[in-house]
């Protein structure tokens, strides 16, 4: 190739390095660029920074670079190992790639941009590399960026679990509510996930004692984990989970009742919705039912009334409202509703906390669905670690410090 200066410009190679040769192989659609340093050059020691160390020997290295149009491009250079009087023989770091990587920084930047937009195996196919090499790049940047995460300002967090791989594997996500980012993703859904979060927080300049508000569902494991590891946090139980407990009770009532009331068959989704969310057809079906005589319809009214709790203007009004609701529900003579009302009562403090904190897991639900969509597109991940990396890529707001 004639235009070596152009290649040099495109690559941003600086003295003592220069492009010495460029070979195009049209049949193989391949461009090989050779870079070398000026003979007799001295380099700084990569360990202690001492200047002007002489070259001891060199190591022939190849890096995959960004395609030049339809050609796959490779960089070749002999990387010097210098002799430092203090540190001995050390391989220098080159400006176009990080140590140990078979890709240039620009190629890695391209990979990282692609993997946030499409599944890793699709990226692998597009660039013609094995996906394990791409995962290695992802893990490097995610781990490094996570390492540099600053959690000093974190005060309000929410936890939720999401399905990891097939079966009953889970990972727990912790979101920084104010920064709207996933701070931490860890395998499991037990109390120990919160302990692990508290450790991780402390490692990144945060303080578990400085966490003042936490939003969780009513899982005993999360409750225990928060009590033990985030001692200053006031707990808000996520309102969608609270409503779901009463909603599930309605569904239980409907399932039992439809064994004797065949009219209830096919009405499941009516009772799971709010009246305003019903289709015309569902509304007609509901109007035609002898609702006065159905336990399911009574349970449904109790559920709608529970939702209205969240419309109360103050925590005092809400507390009084909940007391009345509890009396009604526990006198309904409908067992699943009575059980749900008792669960609500036992978690009353955290349910009412919403009127002070106004925090909910809506953000987490959104992140969850993004993660599950990515997982479905990728047809799952080989390891939980890969899934964790994808969570951070999608929702971690990490800074990878790559060229753009």
Q: Which residues bind Zn ion (CB under 5 A)?
A: 45, 47-48, 50, 84, 86-87
Question: Rounded to whole angstroms, how far apart are CA atoms 315 and 353?
Answer: 8
Closer CB to Zn ion, 42 or 331, in the complex: 42
Q: How far is the CB of 47 from Zn ion (least distance, A)?
A: 4
Question: Rounded to whole angstroms, how far apart are CA atoms 22 and 37?
Answer: 15
Closer CB to Zn ion, 48 or 304, in the complex: 48
Q: How far is the CB of 32 from Zn ion (least distance, A)?
A: 33
Angle made by CA atoms 69, 73, 78, in degrees to the nearest 5: 155
CB atoms within 10 A of CB 364: 24
Q: How far is the CB of 52 from Zn ion (least distance, A)?
A: 11
Q: How far is the CB of 152 from Zn ion (least distance, A)?
A: 34
Closer CB to Zn ion, 48 or 376, in the complex: 48
Task: For residue 35, give Cα distances in angstroms to 2, 32, 394.
Answer: 15, 10, 36
Q: How far is the CB of 84 from Zn ion (least distance, A)?
A: 3
Angle made by CA atoms 255, 261, 262, in degrees to the nearest 5: 90
Closer CB to Zn ion, 9 or 47, in the complex: 47
Torsion of CA 146, 149, 155, 160, to 10 degrees: -10
Closer CB to Zn ion, 44 or 243, in the complex: 44
Q: How far is the CB of 90 from Zn ion (least distance, A)?
A: 6
Contacts 24+ apart (CB under 8 A), 224-229: 224/191, 225/190, 225/191, 225/192, 225/193, 225/194, 225/195, 226/159, 226/194, 228/191, 228/194, 228/195, 229/194, 229/195, 229/197, 229/198
Q: 29 in the Ramachandran plot: left (φ > 0), alpha (ψ -120 to 50) or beta?
A: left
Task: For residue 227, give Cα distances in angstroms to 174, 186, 215, 216, 231.
Answer: 16, 19, 13, 12, 6
Short-list 326, 370, 365, 394, CA closest to 215 = 365
Closer CB to Zn ion, 85 or 314, in the complex: 85
Helix or strand run (H / E) with residue 312: none
Closer CB to Zn ion, 6 or 47, in the complex: 47
- 99: helix, strand or coil: coil
Closer CB to Zn ion, 10 or 87, in the complex: 87
Residue 231: is it exposed, middle or buried by C-beta count within 10 angstroms (0-12/13-18/19+)?
A: exposed
Q: How far is the CB of 40 from Zn ion (least distance, A)?
A: 20
Question: Rounded to whole angstroms, how far apart are CA atoms 306 and 136?
Answer: 49
Q: How far is the CB of 105 from Zn ion (least distance, A)?
A: 24
Closer CB to Zn ion, 84 or 171, in the complex: 84
Question: Rounded to whole angstroms, how far apart are CA atoms 90 and 337?
Answer: 71
Closer CB to Zn ion, 87 or 195, in the complex: 87
Question: Rounded to whole angstroms, how far apart are CA atoms 281 and 279?
Answer: 5
Q: How far is the CB of 16 from Zn ion (least distance, A)?
A: 19
Q: How far is the CB of 45 from Zn ion (least distance, A)?
A: 3
């Amino acid at each position: 190739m004639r235009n070596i200066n152009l290649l040099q410009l495109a690559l941003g190679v600086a003295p003592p390095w220069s492009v010495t040769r460029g070979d195009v192989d049209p049949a193989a659609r391949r461009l090989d660029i050779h870079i070398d340093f000026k003979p007799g050059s001295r380099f700084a020691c990569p360990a202690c920074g001492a200047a002007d160390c002489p070259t001891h020997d060199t190591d022939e290295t190849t890096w995959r670079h960004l395609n030049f149009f339809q050609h796959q491009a490779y960089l070749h250079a002999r990387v010097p190992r210098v002799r430092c009087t203090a540190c001995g023989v050390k391989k220098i770091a080159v400006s176009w790639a990080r140590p140990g990587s078979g890709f240039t920084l620009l190629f890695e930047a391209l990979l990282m941009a692609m993997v946030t937009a499409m599944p890793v195996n699709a990226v692998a196919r597009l660039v013609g590399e094995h996906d394990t090499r791409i995962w290695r790049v992802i893990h490097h940047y995610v781990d490094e960026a996570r390492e540099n995460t600053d959690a000093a300002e974190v005060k309000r967090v929410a936890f939720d679990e999401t399905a990891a791989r097939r079966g009953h594997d889970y990972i727990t996500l912790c979101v920084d509510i104010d920064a709207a980012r996933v701070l931490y993703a860890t395998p499991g859904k037990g109390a120990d996930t919160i302990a692990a979060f508290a450790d991780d927080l402390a490692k990144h300049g945060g303080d578990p004692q400085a966490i003042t508000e936490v939003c969780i569902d009513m899982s005993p494991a999360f409750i225990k984990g928060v009590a033990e590891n985030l001692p200053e946090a006031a707990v808000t139980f996520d309102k969608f989970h609270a409503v779901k407990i009463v909603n599930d009770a309605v569904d239980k009532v409907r399932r039992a009742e439809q064994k004797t009331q065949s009219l209830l068959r096919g009405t499941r989704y009516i009772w799971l919705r709010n009246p305003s969310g019903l289709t015309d057809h569902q509304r007609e079906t509901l109007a035609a039912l002898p609702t006065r005589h159905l336990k399911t319809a009574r349970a449904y009214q109790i559920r709608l009334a529970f939702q209205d709790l969240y419309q109360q203007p103050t925590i005092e009004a809400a507390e009084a409202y909940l007391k009345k609701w509890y009396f009604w529900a526990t006198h309904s003579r409908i067992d699943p509703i009575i059980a749900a009302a008792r669960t609500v009562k036992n978690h009353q403090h955290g349910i009412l906390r919403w009127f002070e904190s106004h925090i909910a897991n809506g953000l987490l639900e959104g992140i969850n669905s993004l993660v599950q969509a990515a997982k479905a597109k990728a047809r799952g991940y080989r390891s939980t670690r890969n899934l964790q990396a994808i969570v951070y890529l999608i929702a971690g707001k990490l800074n990878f410090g790559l060229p753009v």
